[in-house]
Amino acid sequence: MKTVTCTAPVNIAVIKYWGKRDEMLILPLNDSISFTLSQDEMCAKTTISISPTFTEDRFWLNGKEESLENPRIQNCLKEVRRRASKRKLEDSASDTLSWHIHICSENNFPTAAGLASSAAGYACLVYALGQLYGVEGDLSYVARQGSGSACRSVYGGLVRWYMGQADDGTDSFARPVAPPHHFPDLRVIICVANDSRKKIGSTIGMRQTVQTSQLMQYRIKETVVSRTDDMMKAIEDKNWSEFCDITMTDSNEMHAVCQDTNPPCVYMNDTSHSVAALVHRYNDIKTAAGDVSHKICYTFDAGPNACIFVPGAVVEEVVGVLVRAFPPSPTSNSVPYVTGITTHIPELSRELKNLADEDAQPCGHLKYLIHTKVGDGPRILTDPTSSLLDPATGLPKLQKEVEGESNL
């Protein structure tokens, strides 16, 4: 048996990917740019084993066995094996490539809730497959075939996914554009308004938008290309204020085209809009004080959960404002309201208290906050105890425990 375990990160786009020019190959209608987030707080973890004793291919996701007939998973498997078969390494001999495979994957955050779980999951799958079969070189092209945004999770820091022009997708891949600490001590606060599965999946939502939205056609032809160029310049110049403005503008436009879809794809809710309004009011205070270096910005993927980018110098006061404006539910005392990086909430100034109180929401409108930062790309875990599969059977460790108990 040969086994590899890896983790891979979530990424959050600041120039959004929304809409495909080819659904089978997962080719986007525009370039996108994202931040890769730290795996210390949010990641996917995957263990893959191959063995001549396995009798069939099997796949477990978050503790439940799923079908491996998913065409996107199969596309990733076929492409990695194709690359491995071209290598003349002993580890990639044809008999090894014919062995059956067991895949076990889990996320340490909610799946399908608009928190980029598929990006982390497919990036982790492809990276682990690459390690298993000895495939080197760029894997973002392969990850894209599982989930478009997964190609960006193959790298850390700031990453750009190039849409490409070729019909076969060979020039559609991701590349890093800046390291994790490009904007020094940048923090990220994820405001979870709903961690349930979203009603309209991204694939269906994108398809409906491309087919029905006139505003989407305007976005593709008139705004997103120049905005991407402006964003690249803001990154190159480390112009934080400009970066914030562009990020929020593109998030707003993406959700505008979603609502211009027929029928509308509504991902944000009242709590989402309240968080966005709070960010703008906070920035008004900073701008009035001539302190644009401490502006903050939001972006929303296809879900109601805000991702707020915050300079480290003001992160604790921003968390304090959020906690005051969106107090936790009194029934959630057993679960930390602010998770992730340890946060000490300071005494707020009168001005910030007034800001939070201006549109304060009832308890529980936000479920919890995740305090994290920008991070690196996928990692290999070498500690055998980190494996999700039992080294003797190739079955999930948890499943082995359950089966063992049922046989007593």
DSSP string, 279-339: HHHHHHHHHHTT-GGG--EEEE-SSS-EEEEEEGGGHHHHHHHHHHHSPPPGGGTTS-SEE
Spans of all domains in the chain? 2-180+380-406, 186-373
pLDDT in tens, the chain (408 residues): 999 999 999 999 999 999 999 999 999 999 999 999 999 999 999 999 999 999 999 999 999 999 999 999 999 999 999 999 887 554 445 578 889 999 999 998 765 445 668 899 999 999 999 999 999 889 999 999 999 999 999 999 999 999 999 999 999 999 999 999 999 999 999 999 987 777 888 999 999 999 999 999 999 999 999 999 999 999 999 999 999 999 999 999 999 999 999 999 999 999 999 999 999 999 999 999 999 999 999 999 999 999 999 999 999 999 999 999 999 988 766 679 999 999 999 999 999 999 999 989 999 999 999 999 999 999 999 999 999 999 999 999 975 443 433 233
* 340 vs 310: CA distance, rounded Å: 15
Q: Assign 173 to helix, strand or coil.
A: strand
At 334 the pLDDT is 64
At 113 the pLDDT is 45
Q: At what angle do helices 315-325 and 270-288 cross, to 10 degrees?
A: 140
* 313 vs 276: CA distance, rounded Å: 20
Q: DSSP letter string over 186-210?
A: EEEEEEES--SPPSS-HHHHHHHHH
Q: State in Å, rounded, how far the first CA of the chain is from the last one.
A: 28
* 303 vs 203: CA distance, rounded Å: 13
pTM score, two decimals? 0.93
At 390 the pLDDT is 96
* Closest by CA position to 249, among listed 288, 269, 279, 271: 279
What architecture is the 2-180+380-406 domain classified under in CATH?
2-Layer Sandwich (3.30)
Bridge partners of 340?
A: 371
Q: Assign 25 to helix, strand or coil.
A: coil
At 403 the pLDDT is 40
* Closest by CA position to 398, among listed 127, 8, 167, 63: 63
CB-based burial label for 83 (10 Å; 0-12, 13-18, 19+): buried
* CATH number, domain 186-373: 3.30.70.890
At 95 the pLDDT is 74
Bridge partners of 103?
A: 48, 59
* Residue found under tokens 């067991």: 102
Say if residues 378 and 45 touch (Cβ distance below 8 Å).
Answer: no
* DSSP label at residue 38: P
* Closest by CA position to 15, among listed 311, 230, 293, 240: 230
At 86 the pLDDT is 82
* DSSP label at residue 366: S
